[in-house]
Structure 1
């Protein structure tokens, strides 16, 4: 009875820890199931998306190599001779007039280019136009360098990060894009797609734990806030989402599409990557603070984590603003040439939608810091501190550990002071001996007394 009673008091923190895990499971499992169900309902099973000539795009890409150039076709024209390496006229050489001057690409012999073929007469030069450079090998080399850098620094964690990156591309290419093109609501597709990416990436990269679940919950709350604010201010600001790229998409599809929802979808997906960074960093910071001092209350954990989060938040918000500004830089330059005032430039459709994206995403990032920090503090304070478990293990090896640690803990320190060589021995304590210089100068003096004794002893 006594043994059983003692055993009942051996794990006082386990019920609280178990309750936290259960609560997180009850919160996140339904959301994960809803994400999977939404993906199944929104995925366009059996839908065959028309492409190429079926949607009016008759141009086909053909690879070619530049073999010659002549500047005799006009003042702002250059005749480029290419040999095709693919397509219906593979191996044939043709000469294509190409624009030459400011804003036009510059070609050199040996450049690998891409031609646009109209599909009418494969032997005629008039059916082709130089539209781009081939850059597949350079992108492959860059991807290999990126992979090597991630694996070298992150090891197994880096491998998990690469898997998460691949998963994100798979969700975007195989779910988000086909579903939107099939006519589904872009906003709903983006919400479900973001959920798939978030659950998959975070748990794959950081493992299944209470810490990861807390980061997932903080990300969900921040994404919901971004979605609500984005929908509200896109309506208040009367944003249509009809920029040049979207107009081209609607024209090619030939069907109606929710362009405002497409704008919101881009806002959600664009903010997701930065949100993951903020929530994971805040959760890890709170867990490490808890590990360093297990006596901290949740209020103290929240206060300390918030101080860390403020520095992170300021840099992340600036990163998001610079990312959007960099993407819209050509547009900003083009509009500034129109001679319009700053207010007119900022309120233009194409600029205003970038402002809404930036500010709404930034509000979500700012909110992610206190929300995630509070959740992490509430969960971490009820978790057992991990370093406390391995302490009993090394106790039998304490003498050996001490013996090995002595020279490291108390390193030998030597100095020459006058004619004495002074040092410290970890086993024997301080010691002194004459320096080499003192020994040399003292040698004749040590030999002199015996000589004097022999001379005094002779008659």
Structure 2
């Protein structure tokens, strides 16, 4: 507990020193996001709750916290918010289909020993739960890409008010191409960093490459990464178009 407090204090100090008031708001936003996720997960345990609806509501709150609470309400955060919600709605529909067809929901056989003492008859739809978890693990990257595109596009518009909508859109796409690879790789390395122990466990179990690839745990995480990468790729043109359209329509106001 003391280590957690010390690390949190160091993080808060660095965020305030570097980011000032915005850094302090970003630190508070961490706890707000955690509260939203925790509250949403608790409600999902109710058999009568719809995880898909809850996920959209939770992602909306998380987007508001990360965009409006940290960066305040302005034209760049509004366009980033709209782009994020549209991308999430499209991605959620796609993920539900993928989760259902690949049957990655539920628990893997490697987890049965730890779960043998518990009842698995929870009365919840694990397909929807699996889709909801993928969306929740993707929301941060989508918001990050959306604001990373809309912010420089606003700067370009402020310095060159006569820039055309096509030039603004092309500028946004150009920025998106630069950050597409790095964000996708970040998700990939985050998976291997978090599941390195699992990969070593697979080796101890004498799993072949085929066994590892077809393992439900490994497949679920890889599908998570691929869906998140698709979401990052989708949000780039959506944010570029919406931001360019918004600034072009509000030109001169």
Normalised by the length of structure 1, the TM-score is: 0.51
Structure 1: runs of 5+ lacking an equivalent: 1-135, 387-459
Check 1:363–1:189 CA distance in 2 against 1; reply closer, same or farther (3 A cut): same
Asked if residue 308 in structure 1 is aligned to residue 175 in structure 2, the reply is yes
* Greater relative contact order, per chain length (Cα 8 Å cut-off, separation 6+): 2
Shift in Å, 1:321: 1.3
Tell me if the contact between 1:167 and 1:201 (Cα under 8 Å) persists in the aligned partners.
Answer: no
Is 1:225 equivalent to 2:81 in the alignment? no
How many residues end up aligned between the 2 structures?
Answer: 250
SS in 2 for 1:142: helix
d(CA) in 2 for partners of 1:188 and 1:161?
26
Residue 251 (str. 1) matches residue 111 (str. 2): no
Describe how 1:372-411 pairs up with structure 2 within 5 A.
372-384=239-251
Establish whether residue 361 from structure 1 lines up as the match of residue 217 from structure 2: no
SS in 2 for 1:179: helix
Alpha-carbon spacing, 1:226–1:329, altered in 2? closer, same or farther (3 Å):
farther
- Any runs of at least 4 consecutive aligned residues in structure 1 with deviations exceeding 6 A, and if so which? none
* Distance change >3 Å, CA 207–CA 264, structure 1 → 2: same
Q: How does 1:155-174 map to 2 (within 5 A)?
A: 155-173=20-38
> Cα gap change, 1:314/1:272 in structure 2, threshold over 3 Å: closer, same or farther?
same
Query: What CA deviation, in whole Å up to 9, does each residue of 1:384-429 have, x standing for no partner?
Result: 589xxxxxxxxxxxxxxxxxxxxxxxxxxxxxxxxxxxxxxxxxxx
Match of residue 330 from structure 1: 197
* Equivalent-residue separation in structure 1 for 2:244 and 2:174 (angstroms): 13
The CA deviation at 1:250 is: 9.6
Q: Which has the larger radius of gyration?
A: 1
Q: Which runs of 5+ in 2 are unaligned?
A: none
State how 1:39-188 maps to structure 2 within 5 Å: 136-173=1-38, 175-183=39-47, 184-188=49-53
Give the conservation status (yes or no) of the 8 Å contact 1:215–1:280. Answer: yes
Question: Structure 1: how far apart are the matches of 2:5 and 2:115?
Answer: 30
RMSD: 2.4
Is contact 1:250–1:257 with CA below 8 Å preserved after alignment? no
TM (normalized to structure 2)? 0.90
